[in-house]
Amino acid sequence: MTAYTVAIDDTTAAWRTVDWIVDVVDPLSDSVRLLTVSEFYGEALARSEERLAAAEKRIRTAHGGLAVTHVVTGGPTTDRLVSDAARGDVLVIGGNQVHKFVAAVRGRVAERVVAHAVTPVVVVPEHWERADGPVVVGVDGRSASAALSWATDWAARGHRDLALVRAWAVPVPVEPYAAVYLQEDRDLWSQGADLELQAALRAVGAVQPGLHVTGETVEGHARDVVLRSSRGGSLVVVGRRHRTALGGFLTGSVGERLMHDGHAPVCIVPEPEHTDAGAESEHRSEPSHAEVR
């Protein structure tokens, strides 16, 4: 059972979220809450209600027995979406694929919501292309094991294949002479990626032994490798590394690249919060075995 919160506004991307929900929702067990956030000087309430009613009608036409509600609530938009999403399991928002520098400067809603949400966020791009391919998840060795677990559950529930991708690259040296030594250790970086991928494959097999899973290691920057691997995928799952939209822009976040340039929906999964000091200390000192970023 999954409780979806779906953000609806007057953009093309927002209506793509409705199409995506129609495709993936299970009418026997899931629920959908359609949400429009009205800023202080926003549009008229009647117009917001009309749009939500139209979205609800579209969903109910496809799934008559599905539990669907809608609400207009007050802003600011990002804070309200993050707050309301915590009431459900998954937040679904549209991704307007504007230039990434403009998005970083303006603080585009999708980036800000993803940076602060405590639940998984599915961003459906305005240029979304339906595909029946596997659920693609990027694997790395420093954090975000929650993303691998979420992707595994999603693939099993939707009877999809799961494709694990581990990108690796020789680090860029700070000093010119260091490049020689780093290249000599190139095989070690490749082997390390292989070991992490095998660990992730074993972890998936332990919890979902009947799931069809593939895995590959690919040399290259993670943001480029995962984007290429996402072509034909039904969903791409990555973990959240950055806490601000600008941080992702400056450091080349994989999620940022997928939201701006991808054609598949991307789910960004935060690591679970730790509520006690001991757990937080342990979380900081010991990296996870599988990272998706």
**In which band, very low, low, confident or very high, does the pLDDT at 274 lie, cut at 50, 70 and 90?**
low
Would you state the pLDDT for residue 42? Answer: 63
Residues 97-104: what's their mean pLDDT? 52
Q: What is the pLDDT of residues 221-261, one digit of tens each?
A: 888 999 999 999 999 999 886 544 444 443 347 887 888 88
CATH number for the domain running over 135-285: 3.40.50.12370
pLDDT tens per residue, range 189-220:
888 899 999 999 999 999 999 999 999 999 99
Residue 33, φ and ψ in degrees, nearest 5: -120, 110
Q: Identify the pLDDT of residue 180.
A: 55
Is 60 exceeded by the pLDDT of residue 11? Answer: yes
pLDDT band at 76 (very low <50, low <70, confident <90, very high): confident
For residues 122-150, average pLDDT: 87
From the candidate CATH numbers 3.40.50.620, 3.40.630.10, 3.30.365.10, 3.40.50.2300, the one assigned to the domain spanning 3-95: 3.40.50.620
Judge whether residue 16 has pLDDT over 90.
yes
Summarised one tens digit per residue, pLDDT across range 34-43 is 999 887 556 7
Q: What is the pLDDT of residue 105?
A: 44
Q: Is the pLDDT of residue 108 over 90?
A: no
CA distance linking residue 61 with residue 55, whole number of Å: 10
State the pLDDT at residue 12: 87
Predicted confidence at residue 58, as pLDDT, reads 96
Quick one: average pLDDT of 99-125? 74
Sign of the dihedral defined by the CA atoms of residues 77, 79, 84, 89, in that order:
positive
With bands split at pLDDT 50, 70 and 90, how would you rate the model's confidence at 273?
A: low
Mean pLDDT score, 87-93: 94
What residues does each domain of the chain span? 3-95, 135-285
* The predicted structure's pLDDT at residue 288: 35
The mean of the pLDDT values for the chain is 81
Task: Output the pLDDT for position 226.
Answer: 92
Please give the share of the chain, as a percent, with pLDDT higher than 70: 77
Pick from 72-76, 224-228, 283-287: least confident: 283-287
| DSSP string of the chain, one letter each residue | --EEEEE--SSHHHHHHHHHHHHH--TTT-EEEEEEEEPTT---HHHHHHHHHHHHHHHHHH-TTSEEEEEEEES-HHHHHHHHHTTSSEEEEEE----HHHHHHHT-HHHHHHHH-SS-EEEEETT------PEEEE-BSSS-HHHHHHHHHHHHHTT--EEEEEEE-PPPPSSTTHHHHHHHTHHHHHHHHHHHHHHHHHHHHHH-TTS-EEEEEEES-HHHHHHHHTTT-SEEEEE---SSHHHHHHHT-HHHHHHHH-SS-EEEEPPPPP-SHHHHHHHHHS--S-B--
